[in-house]
Chains A and B, each alone.
Chain A
Amino acid sequence: MDFPDGLLYTKEHEWVKVENGKAKIGITDYAQHELGDIVFVELPEVGSEVVAMEPFGVVESVKTVSDLFSPVSGEVVGVNSELEATPEIVNTSPYDKGWMVEVAMSDKNELKELFSADEYTKYVEEESQ
């Protein structure tokens, strides 16, 4: 399983990539694997507010549904509209084409609460046991 360095991770299996003060958010390789074939992703609208560790959307596979938790707080400035028609790219490219939202962070300190790639790898290993 692939957990790239340089990204930050949550216990709920989202990743964050920080670029120019903005946080790009998606779900991890582990999450997409556990969910199976993803059939639907529900995302907030641009301009709405998200709060750290509160649900901002939903991801669905055929027989399961999971809330998406935002790793950080702030305003949504970008949404991956490709996911509407082709949710399967979350399965094929979770860290790149399958990104979900971009957030203008209101509190960068929140990033300190998140896992590094190493910590997350360890966390996943523990959880899957």
Chain B
Amino acid sequence: MSYELTDGTQGLIFNEPLLFEQGSDGRGGCALPDCDVPEKDVINLIPEDMLREEISGFPSLSEVDVVRHFTRLSQWNYSVDLGFYPLGSCTMKYNPKINEDVARLSGFSNVHPYQPEELSQGALQMMFELGEYLSEIGGMDRVSLQPAAGAHGELAGMMIIKAYHESKGENRHKVIIPDSAHGTNPASSTLCGYKVIELKSNGRGLLDPEAVEKAMDKDVAAFMITNPNTLGLFEENILEITEIVHRKGGLVYCDGANLNAIMGIARPGDMGVDVLHFNLHKTFSTPHGGGGPGAGPVGIKRELIPFMPVPVVEKNNIGQYKLNYKFPHSIGRVKAFYGNFGILVRAYTYIRTMGSEGLKKASETAVLNANYIMSQLKDYYHLPYDRQCMHESVFSDKFQNKNGITTLDIAKALIDYGFHPPTIYFPLIVKGAIMIEPTETESKDTMDRFIAAMKDIADRAEKDPDSLKKSPIKTKVTRLNETKAAREPNLRWINDYLMGVF
């Protein structure tokens, strides 16, 4: 490997045992106040047989112990703040710091969900306006902010569709989903009691209107589409497709995972989409947090409003904000309270910071960056659909396979160059897929270094494939034995003493 290509050197990485393997009885990390009310014997308050002994296994650590422990752990993570994270479909853009400060303002973070509406006007105003902004961006008529994540938004959206059809006395029980879809799409449909019909995309990576026409019948409740699709391609025939679905009485659901390609440029609502979910943790810069929390608001067209989750934030004619529960046809609630409020605050802040022109610029730049990387790498990696892409491109390991190098090897090798690997083995329709999404927040120099690393890996795959098989070598741990993890599940620490080892 040519080391000048890499940012990383071997850093100072500490080993750190589990919380449970350190500390000593009697230590504590928090100073609690003394009890200032007259105390009673606990057994006079709670019957003895409902009381527990000590919490067996809980650690005993000082504040310093705890801080060092988690600081050391943090250093084993790759993150957006550390470097390029071109994870396709996940839109790992930079997470602005101001958003974090705003979300932690006491007037947002210390607000109780059941305090009176008159004392929550700022929170309700923020939610109301965010709903309006998202409606505008997606071309939808109304947005529910309740769903906690993209998949949760899908569930709410598909239930709204089901409730809509039922209200018309129709018992449609099938949903059509393209073979390139995210796994959450079929799983969410199943939770609504739908049978999933898979539709194959054509040789150009797109959906054929003829195939949609053929698959659509009176039993189909909805067509679930992702546009741009998971190959990073815009469904050119989207208008024809949504027209077919509507003509046969179905509705169109759009997975908004890839909205970062089209903000301010085109709107799913104008394409005939009836329901659309947004991933605030992708498109709207809220942090991924190591796997969550995100937020998955769901936008709908006018005729579906009666079925949306309750409560709905509304503004009355004297400018007061209210929670409206009076939606007799609502699907109900998908979450307690009103949504992942702290995430909504961050997304709101982002939208206001970017403004209308900034959002458009973000999408334009995301698409430019993706095409730039694609143009630079297509002579080195197999590009199954060789056309302009939107915000991400999908390569495969076909060229490298002949030397025994797979997508997994390429991904693991990238780590040693100081980059997070792209999304791999998705979408499923491309064998050995490598899905690269740079986002708009990366500079040309960063991308150039990534491109150079990818080229170097392609070169090594030709000349010294074995060297790639060992990657990564610079990380705290090397490739992990996932087979062992699955065959002998060890999902919690157990005190050896309790296990009777001693």
Q: Do A and B come from one complex?
A: yes
| A interface residues (Cβ-Cβ under 8 A, vs B) | 37, 39-40, 60-63, 87-88
- B residues less than 8 Å from A37 (CB atoms): 483, 487
Within the assembled complex, what's the spacing in Å between the Cα atoms of A62 and B483? 6
Closest to B487 in A: A39
Within the assembled complex, what's the spacing in Å between the Cα atoms of A37 and B481? 11
Complex interface bits, B250-277 against A, C-beta within 8 A gives 1, otherwise 0: 0000000000000000000000000000
7 new A-B contacts, CB < 8 A, other than A37-B487, A40-B487, are: A37-B483, A39-B486, A39-B487, A40-B486, A60-B486, A61-B483, A62-B482
In whole Å, how far is A93's beta carbon from the nearest beta carbon of chain B? Answer: 16
Within the assembled complex, what's the spacing in Å between the Cα atoms of A60 and B485? 13
| B interface residues (Cβ-Cβ under 8 A, vs A) | 425, 482-483, 485-487
Q: Is the interface of B mostly helix, strand, loop or mixed?
A: helix
In whole Å, how far is A118's beta carbon from the nearest beta carbon of chain B? Answer: 28
Pairs across A and B, CB under 8 Å, 17 listed: A37-B483, A37-B487, A39-B483, A39-B486, A39-B487, A40-B486, A40-B487, A60-B486, A61-B483, A62-B482, A62-B483, A62-B485, A62-B486, A63-B425, A63-B482, A87-B487, A88-B487
Within the assembled complex, what's the spacing in Å between the Cα atoms of A61 and B486? 8
Within the assembled complex, what's the spacing in Å between the Cα atoms of A39 and B485? 9
- A residues less than 8 Å from B425 (CB atoms): 63
In whole Å, how far is B238's beta carbon from the nearest beta carbon of chain A? Answer: 32
In whole Å, how far is B100's beta carbon from the nearest beta carbon of chain A? Answer: 34
- A residues less than 8 Å from B487 (CB atoms): 37, 39-40, 87-88
- A residues less than 8 Å from B486 (CB atoms): 39-40, 60, 62
Closest to B488 in A: A39
Closest to A40 in B: B486
Within the assembled complex, what's the spacing in Å between the Cα atoms of A39 and B486? 6
Within the assembled complex, what's the spacing in Å between the Cα atoms of A61 and B483? 8
In whole Å, how far is B476's beta carbon from the nearest beta carbon of chain A? Answer: 21
Within the assembled complex, what's the spacing in Å between the Cα atoms of A39 and B482? 10
Within the assembled complex, what's the spacing in Å between the Cα atoms of A63 and B486? 10
- B residues less than 8 Å from A39 (CB atoms): 483, 486-487
In whole Å, how far is B407's beta carbon from the nearest beta carbon of chain A? Answer: 12
Within the assembled complex, what's the spacing in Å between the Cα atoms of A95 and B486? 23
Closest to A86 in B: B487
- B residues less than 8 Å from A61 (CB atoms): 483
In whole Å, how far is B190's beta carbon from the nearest beta carbon of chain A? Answer: 15
Closest to A62 in B: B482
Closest to A39 in B: B486
- A residues less than 8 Å from B485 (CB atoms): 62
In whole Å, how far is A14's beta carbon from the nearest beta carbon of chain B? Answer: 22
- B residues less than 8 Å from A40 (CB atoms): 486-487
Within the assembled complex, what's the spacing in Å between the Cα atoms of A40 and B482? 13
Within the assembled complex, what's the spacing in Å between the Cα atoms of A38 and B487? 8
Closest to B425 in A: A63
Within the assembled complex, what's the spacing in Å between the Cα atoms of A40 and B487? 7
Within the assembled complex, what's the spacing in Å between the Cα atoms of A87 and B487? 8
Within the assembled complex, what's the spacing in Å between the Cα atoms of A10 and B483? 27
- A residues less than 8 Å from B482 (CB atoms): 62-63
In whole Å, how far is B16's beta carbon from the nearest beta carbon of chain A? Answer: 27
In whole Å, how far is A4's beta carbon from the nearest beta carbon of chain B? Answer: 26
- B residues less than 8 Å from A63 (CB atoms): 425, 482
In whole Å, how far is B404's beta carbon from the nearest beta carbon of chain A? Answer: 16
Within the assembled complex, what's the spacing in Å between the Cα atoms of A61 and B484? 11
In whole Å, how far is B408's beta carbon from the nearest beta carbon of chain A? Answer: 10
- B residues less than 8 Å from A87 (CB atoms): 487
In whole Å, how far is B431's beta carbon from the nearest beta carbon of chain A? Answer: 12
Within the assembled complex, what's the spacing in Å between the Cα atoms of A62 and B425? 14
In whole Å, how far is A1's beta carbon from the nearest beta carbon of chain B? Answer: 18
Sort A-B residue pairs by CB-CB distance and give the 3 closest, nearest first.
A39-B486, A37-B483, A62-B482
In whole Å, how far is B411's beta carbon from the nearest beta carbon of chain A? Answer: 13
Within the assembled complex, what's the spacing in Å between the Cα atoms of A87 and B482? 15
Scoring B425, B485, B486 by chain A CB atoms within 10 A of each residue's CB, the highest score goes to B486
Within the assembled complex, what's the spacing in Å between the Cα atoms of A44 and B485? 25
Within the assembled complex, what's the spacing in Å between the Cα atoms of A25 and B482? 28
In whole Å, how far is A71's beta carbon from the nearest beta carbon of chain B? Answer: 25
Within the assembled complex, what's the spacing in Å between the Cα atoms of A63 and B425? 10
Within the assembled complex, what's the spacing in Å between the Cα atoms of A87 and B486? 11
Within the assembled complex, what's the spacing in Å between the Cα atoms of A60 and B489? 14
In whole Å, how far is A57's beta carbon from the nearest beta carbon of chain B? Answer: 17
Within the assembled complex, what's the spacing in Å between the Cα atoms of A7 and B248? 49
In whole Å, how far is A60's beta carbon from the nearest beta carbon of chain B? Answer: 8
Closest to A85 in B: B487
